[in-house]
Amino acid sequence: MQRVLTQINIENYPESLRPLLLGADIYDSRCASGAEVLFIDRGNGYFLKSMKRGELEAEAKMTKYFGSLGLGAKVLAFEQGERDYMLTERVHGEDCTHALYLSDPERLCDLYAELLYDLHHRDYTGCPVQNRIESYTALAFENYRTGNYDKDSFPDSFGYASANEAMAVIEKYGSSLKNDTLIHGDYCLPNVMLDNWKFSAFIDVGNGGVGDRHIDLFWGVWTLWYNLKTNRYEDRFLDAYGRGNFDPDMLRIVAAFEVFG
């Protein structure tokens, strides 16, 4: 996670947050388009994430829920104005793209799969998002309608020749996705925090909720390809998760959804 010392105008932030910002060293720690992420170097440290109004509401709810399970950061404040602001306590450690973890890809792959298996076997009572597949499906259809299609970001094994080909798969098999598992929703290496190889937290859980495990498995395969620059860990990851715990054909169905953003 990159952090760059930066200057901000605290008048641009909610009044309730300004005392925390005033006089502190502030670092730009953004890692996603459209989101500002600041690390506030005060006390044990804080992260302040902001996005357009309405775009952080679901993430704040899911972050609180993951925190209640001991799986995420503690949410200290959520403010809505012209933008959404979420303040969380610092999570110790570094994300899985840190050099320490990438330098031992076999160990990383195995741990990454084990953490996902554990998440998928959690009781999801009280989860604020009980039907993630509904919004997941709606987004795919909306992006198909507006021409938002991207197959270039995915390994060849998940590629589709056209938007129409991917949509045909969704229309035929999309109903096979189930709301029966607590999922992260964006299970990529930058969204898993480790502290010297020990699990610390899941972050960026705005796409999480009760959904289908194959969504996380798809992103698990994708991020190992993307961050390790090779497909060689796909089988190892799926073996470590447990071949009897998923349907491999579902990964290509999920891919049809994901090429629509």
Rounded distance, CA 108 to CA 97, Å?
A: 10
Does 247 qualify as catalytic in the annotation? no
The encoded tokens of residue 215 equal 């969504």
Of residues 25, 41, 123, 186, which has the active-site annotation? 186
- Beta-strand pair 36-41/25-28: antiparallel
* Maximum distance among all Cα pairs of the chain, rounded to whole angstroms: 57
Rounded distance, CA 10 to CA 72, Å?
A: 27
CA angle 199, 94, 77 (to 5 degrees): 85
CB 40 within 8 A of CB 48: yes
Name the residue type at position 185: G
The encoded tokens of residue 180 equal 């029966």
Length of the chain, please?
261
Q: Which residues contact 217 (CB under 8 A, 6 or more apart)?
A: 116, 187, 238, 241, 246, 251, 254
Handedness of CA 223, 226, 228, 231 (dihedral sign): positive
> Which residues carry out catalysis?
186
